[in-house]
Structures are given as C-alpha cells and as structure tokens.
C-alpha cells in the first residue's frame, strides 16, 4: 500500500505543487493510500452558492442539474464548482481505514459526515439518485477519500441524518459568530432567515445579551417568517442585500446612526459585499461566511468608501464547530422545529433523477 502525504498532495493531478483544494483536478481513484479513509457516500450537501448557480444555469431542471454535478466530478475528480469555487459536505459510512491513519475514534462501519469542503475531496459518484432543491442535497451512490488532516464528525444519535448534515454544512458560521459577538453589541446578519443565518442569530443572541441587538435582513417572505418565528431578531429588514444604499440606510435607521458592531454575511448570492461593509461602523468587524463573496470586491469596495473595518474570511472550520452547531439546535426547541420542517428526511421535494456517471 502506498504512503500518502498527510495533506493529500499525492492526489493532485494538475497543477503541480498545490494542495487538493486549489488544484484543478485530483485523482479520484478509490484505492486508498496507507493514511486515508474510504467513505461509502450516500448524500452530498452542495453548498448554497454552488447549488443556486447550478440550478440557475440549468433552468431548475433536476435531471440537467444532476448531469451538471456529475460533469464537474468527471472533469475535476471532486465536486468543485468552477464558477463559485465552492463545494459542500457529504455523509456516508466508513468503508476502509489505512493502517497509517493516525487519528483514533473512527472505525469501519461508522456513519460520518465529512466536514471539509467537497472542493478538495476526491470523489467518485456512480449515480445521483435524487435531487432535493429545498435542502440542496443529492442522494447518491459513490465513494470519497478523507486525508490524514481531514475534518469529519460522527453522525449524532439524537438527530435525523439529513438534518444533521444540513447543520454540519454551515457549522463554521455559528461557531465563528460565537467568537465574535460580545455583550451589548449590535450584530447585523445578512441572510438571517436562512440555514446559516438562523444559527448565527441564535449564537449572537446568546452573546450580546439583553443589552445587545440583533438585526437581520431577508428578501423572501418565507425566510422572514422563519426569522420572526424564532424571535431572535430585534429588527427585521425585508429587502435585497444587493441594494447597497438601501441596506446602509435601513441599518442606519435601526441603529440611530451607530451602525453594526459585527456584520455576518450568510447569503448565497454575489454583490452583497459592500452592503455588509456599509452597514458596519468604523473599527467594526465583517465576517464573510458566504462562499458567494468576492473578496476583491469586499477589499476594494471598503477602500473606495473609506471604511476602516476588519474583514474576516469565512473559514468553514473552527475548533468544536460541529458540536457547537448541533448544540444550538438542542438548546433551542423553536430552532429545532424550524430546521426539522426545512431539512429533515422527507422535507422539501426530493425528486428522483437516476442519472448515472456512465451516461456523462
């Protein structure tokens, strides 16, 4: 059995001298190296930015969407959307463990979620069985590789699998928000009624306390109603986060001109960077969790309006992020109900497609 690099560099096909995430193409042969894990994959949770882009590109046709995803995997050896640059997460069952894999606590047969991005995960999908637009999840038959440094978590015993995977997909967002928010602060959440936004609103509410405020913005009625139902936001702004002047003026009114101390951007569409910056006070912090973010637009936009804000890239990993995200639902009965309705097995409209890789 061959020995592999702990970061997966041995899987890179092109270009050379990079790791699997920035690589254009990786080796997705499912014969494991001595320090890898093989996963039998049953579900892909495509990140919202990537799923939305694929859905729009294919006019919402689920068969075409499935073929699109299989085309990405065939070309790149991983589900790394070349337009958004993002991936998602997956879940499945541990099929094999290399003898040099050094991390204890995982065994063959364990159900696990792989929490690092699909954009770096060697993946082979033989068939996409169904597509669920509501949850951004694909039921599949396939396999994936986890490197020595991979991030994974066991599937919880007390929670539906599809629901847990949906939470794991955005686990970095609430955990990072918990680190950023402080008592008495005003936290502005862009996309506050979505999956990541609701979890962030809960963690922010806990941290800012009764002297702080949570402001959320959502465009759609359904997302606004979800946010209202939770009672987490003090102010809900309904409108487009891409309308930069509208957002600035709305937050200015809501804060009496003081603006937000912390802004968390969780939306799945581009062109919201400067709206987030404009909503934040000088010396405040903007956390761009959204993979639809252009960091060039954020940096140059902030420069152009003279905004002295600290901007944080949405690292999907922070210590204990999986446990923090799941515990958010366990602590909040209303959030648990909202998430069950939206993301648990049977939620939404899972449409059978039965598209095989051999057809691509």
- pLDDT classification of 317: cutoffs 50, 70, 90: confident
The CATH number assigned to the domain holding 257 equals 3.40.50.720
Looking at the fold, whether 182 and 301 belong to one and the same domain comes out as yes
CB 187 within 8 A of CB 181: yes
- What is the distance between the alpha carbons of residues 47 and 54, in angstroms, rounded to a whole number? 11
- What is the distance between the alpha carbons of residues 114 and 155, in angstroms, rounded to a whole number? 10
pLDDT digits (tens, 9 = 90+) for 90-143: 999 999 999 999 988 899 999 999 999 999 999 999 999 999 999 999 999 999
Give the model's pLDDT for residue 349. 83
Give the model's pLDDT for residue 114. 97
Identify whether 321 is part of a domain. Answer: no
Looking at the fold, whether 126 and 212 belong to one and the same domain comes out as no
Looking at the fold, whether 273 and 185 belong to one and the same domain comes out as yes
Looking at the fold, whether 304 and 214 belong to one and the same domain comes out as yes
Task: Tell me what the mean pLDDT of segment 200-211 comes to.
Answer: 97
The count of structural domains within the chain is: 2
Looking at the fold, whether 188 and 141 belong to one and the same domain comes out as no
Looking at the fold, whether 153 and 184 belong to one and the same domain comes out as no
Looking at the fold, whether 301 and 184 belong to one and the same domain comes out as yes
Looking at the fold, whether 147 and 176 belong to one and the same domain comes out as no
- pLDDT classification of 282: cutoffs 50, 70, 90: very high
- pLDDT classification of 200: cutoffs 50, 70, 90: very high
CB 34 within 8 A of CB 99: yes
pLDDT digits (tens, 9 = 90+) for 12-65: 999 999 999 999 999 999 999 999 999 999 999 999 999 999 999 999 999 999
CB 239 within 8 A of CB 220: no
Asked if pLDDT for residue 264 goes beyond 90, the answer is yes
Give the model's pLDDT for residue 147. 97
What are the DSSP calls for 268-325, one per residue?
A: SSSS-HHHHHHTEEEEEEEEE--TT--HHHHHHHHHHTT---EEEE--S--TTHHHHH
Asked if pLDDT for residue 229 goes beyond 90, the answer is yes
- What is the distance between the alpha carbons of residues 356 and 183, in angstroms, rounded to a whole number? 52
What tokens appear for 291 in the block?
């993979």
pLDDT digits (tens, 9 = 90+) for 176-198: 999 999 999 999 999 999 999 99
Identify whether 128 is part of a domain. Answer: yes
Please report which helix (H) or strand (E) contains residue 113, including its range.
Answer: strand 111-114
Identify whether 323 is part of a domain. Answer: no
Asked if pLDDT for residue 348 goes beyond 90, the answer is no
Looking at the fold, whether 216 and 253 belong to one and the same domain comes out as yes
The residue with tokens 């063959």 is: 108
Among residues of the chain, what percentage have pLDDT more than 70? 100
Looking at the fold, whether 351 and 310 belong to one and the same domain comes out as no
Q: Which domain holds residue 104?
A: 9-159+346-359
Mean per-residue pLDDT of the chain: 96
* Cβ contacts of 303-309, under 8 Å, gap ≥ 24: 305/274, 305/277, 305/278, 307/277, 307/278, 307/280, 307/282, 308/282, 308/283, 309/277, 309/280, 309/281, 309/282, 309/283, 309/284, 309/285
Looking at the fold, whether 350 and 305 belong to one and the same domain comes out as no
Identify whether 330 is part of a domain. Answer: no
């Amino acid at each position: 059995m061959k020995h592999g690099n702990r970061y997966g560099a041995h899987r890179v096909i092109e270009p050379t001298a990079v790791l699997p995430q920035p690589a254009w193409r990786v080796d997705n042969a499912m014969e494991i190296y001595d320090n890898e894990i093989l996963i039998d994959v049953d579900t892909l949770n495509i990140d919202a930015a990537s799923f939305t882009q694929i859905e729009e590109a294919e006019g919402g046709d689920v068969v075409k969407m499935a073929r699109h995803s299989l085309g990405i995997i065939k070309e790149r050896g991983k589900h790394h959307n070349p337009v958004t640059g993002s991936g998602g997460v997956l879940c499945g069952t541990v099929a094999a463990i290399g003898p040099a894999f050094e991390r204890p606590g995982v065994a063959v047969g364990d159900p696990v979620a792989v929490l690092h991005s699909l954009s770096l995960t060697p993946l082979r999908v033989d068939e996409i069985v169904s597509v669920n637009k509501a949850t951004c999840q694909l039921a599949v038959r396939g396999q994936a590789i986890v490197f020595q440094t991979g991030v994974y978590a066991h599937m919880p015993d007390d929670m539906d699998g599809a629901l847990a995977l949906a939470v794991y997909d955005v686990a970095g967002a609430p955990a990072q928000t918990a680190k950023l928010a402080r008592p008495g602060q005003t936290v502005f959440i862009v996309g506050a009624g979505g999956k990541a936004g609701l979890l962030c609103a809960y963690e922010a509410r806990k941290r800012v306390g009764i002297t702080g405020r949570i402001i959320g913005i959502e465009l759609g009625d359904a997302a606004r109603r979800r946010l209202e139902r939770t009672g987490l936001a003090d102010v809900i702004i309904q409108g487009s986060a891409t309308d930069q002047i509208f957002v600035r003026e709305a937050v200015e009114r809501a804060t009496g001109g003081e603006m937000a101390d912390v802004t968390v951007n969780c939306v799945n569409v581009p062109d919201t960077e400067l709206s987030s910056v404009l909503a934040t006070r000088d010396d405040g912090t903007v956390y761009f969790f959204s993979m639809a973010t252009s960091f060039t637009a954020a940096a140059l936009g902030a420069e152009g309006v003279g905004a002295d804000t600290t901007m944080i890239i949405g690292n999907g990993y922070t210590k204990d992020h999986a446990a923090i995200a799941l515990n958010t639902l366990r602590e909040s009965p209303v959030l648990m109900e909202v998430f069950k309705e939206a993301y648990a097995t049977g939620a939404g409209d899972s449409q059978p497609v039965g598209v095989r890789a051999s057809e691509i």
